[in-house]
Chain A
Amino acid sequence: MDSQTHPTFTHRLAPFLSFTVLVLIWEVAVRFAKLDSHVLPGPSQVFFSMIELIKDGSIFKHTVASLFRVTAGFYLAAALGIPLGIVLGRSHIASLLFSPIINFLRPISPLAWIPLAMLWFGIGDKPAVFLIFLASFFPIVVATMVAVQSINPTFFHVAANFNFSRFEVIQKIVIPAIIPAIITALRLTVTIAWIVVVAAEMIAVQSGLGYLILDARNGLRLDQVMDGMIVIGLIGILLDSIMRRLGRIDSAAWGIRQP
């Protein structure tokens, strides 16, 4: 646990080492295979085109556009999904009524909704946000519901013993009890949301990293396609580390550190 709270030099160095090796393999592969830059551009070419994109600011514009959509859709899904999951987890009748619908909608790929989303919301941010919402909403609802259902029943007895009100049961038992599971669910879901935003942007909008990739492909600029991919990967790492940090807050860490 010490190595987690105080990363040693090795812990910091390891990721850089593996990335360096990856880039080296990539460079060697490109040189020896003598691949055309329209098939697989080398690291240096990708690096320079990245600088180009940074200089004209377009990479930032697209990143911000994507992040905005992911954030909006994701927060919307969490804000509606977590309370719904709590209700379904606490009420047997609600779960009997709504679980079949959720299980029916859950396996339908958010991408299958694209035609409907475009008809309902037109072109722009709205259909993309809607698709991200769909992609995040169901996993969050199901994870919350399962987390609530698996709360140790002893805690509810304790609540009854100390005369908790209904509100206190939610506030002092249910919500803190499900936080570790919710954080895990959010970690997984934010990745799904991030996958879906790229797909959505390839169809419904004129901005964002998905659009950048599609646009670059149409111009046969594979180096820029890879720039888009790299930024997506980096932001993925960033989002995940933010989520992980949430999980290390002391009152939320009980689930991970319990003996």
Chain B
Amino acid sequence: MGHIVISGLNKEFVNRRKSRREDDTAPLGHVVPVLEDINIEIEDGEMVCFLGPSGCGKSTLMRIVAGFDKQSSGSVMIDSKAITGPSSDNIFVFQHSGLLPWMTVAQNVELGIRHMKDAHERCGKIQEYIEMVELEGFEDHYPHQLSGGMLRRAELARALVVNPDILIMDEPFSGLDFLTHMKLREEVVNMHQFLGKTILIVTHDIDDALVMGDRIIVFSRRPSQIKLNRKLDFPHPRNFFKKDTELAKLRDELFFMLGVNYAV
């Protein structure tokens, strides 16, 4: 289960900066509020996209939900239990690769199920998830031998193999080339429809949010408050170019030609 209730959450940082950023008027050494009175309820199985200007604290909120960071006040309850720390029930997929570079893809995927007693079953599971992200044949490759898109897939496999309730993705497509970005986006949408996990995605790509989200939440500038919290009831695959059908067709054709099947 992955039902999240965030209520009255505040987060402050102490400004330890020696010199001041240009647009920063806060006095040095003072408390800087980052998140102010955040109230969100996320249903089990919902895919929620968080948008906002950079530095607005979206990642901080994700780190709090993942248990890496503590809120200053307010509460975060997952399935009516307060967060006590990081746990394999909610897996964080890092912005830059969080794969351990000294382990092969298979060894990385194994991390989450390393306590599974039956070696045969364990290997089967590793293989199943590696195939799910289409990395078969790369089991024994080290991360530095993979491309950017493959790294994200491998990390996704590692996250999914533990069967977490919640998946938290911090700008999962940043730094990828356009087509890899599109393909991976499509795969995440498919995976979500198939597995039905609660997924939180931080992004600043509006397209991504519109295409993927069951809901989008938009943050304001710091100190961040919620500007918009809207459910997106549109069915997948979603299409922006409905108005101009000919262009839309061409766009679809191009996508299809280049390997993104539905341009979800």
Q: What residues make up the interface of A, taking CB atoms closer than 8 Å to B?
A: 154-155, 157-158, 160-163, 172-173, 176-177, 179, 250-255, 257-259
Contact = CB atoms under 8 A, between A and B. Distances in A.
Contact of A158 (B87, B98, B143, B162): B98
Contacts of B92: 157, 161
B255 interface: no
Given A160-B86, A257-B144, A172 B68 contact: no
Contact of B103 (A157, A251, A255): A251
A160 B68 contact: yes
A258 B144 CA distance: 5
Contacts of B103: 172, 176, 251
B135 to A, nearest CB: 18
B144 A251 contact: no
A92 B159 CA distance: 31
Given A176-B100, A254-B101, A161 B66 contact: yes
B91 A161 contact: yes
Contacts, number: 57
Contact of A157 (B86, B87, B101, B112): B86
B259 interface: no
Contacts of B96: 154
Given A162-B88, A162-B162, A157 B98 contact: yes
B237 interface: no
A177 B88 CA distance: 22
**In the A-B complex, the 3 residue pairs with the closest CB atoms:** A176-B102, A160-B86, A254-B101
A254 B98 contact: no
A163 B87 contact: yes
A254 B142 CA distance: 8
B51 to A, nearest CB: 23
15 contacts: A155-B100, A157-B66, A157-B86, A160-B67, A160-B68, A160-B85, A161-B86, A161-B88, A162-B112, A162-B162, A172-B111, A251-B102, A252-B102, A255-B101, A259-B144
A258 B99 CA distance: 13
Interface in B7-33: none
A257 B143 CA distance: 10
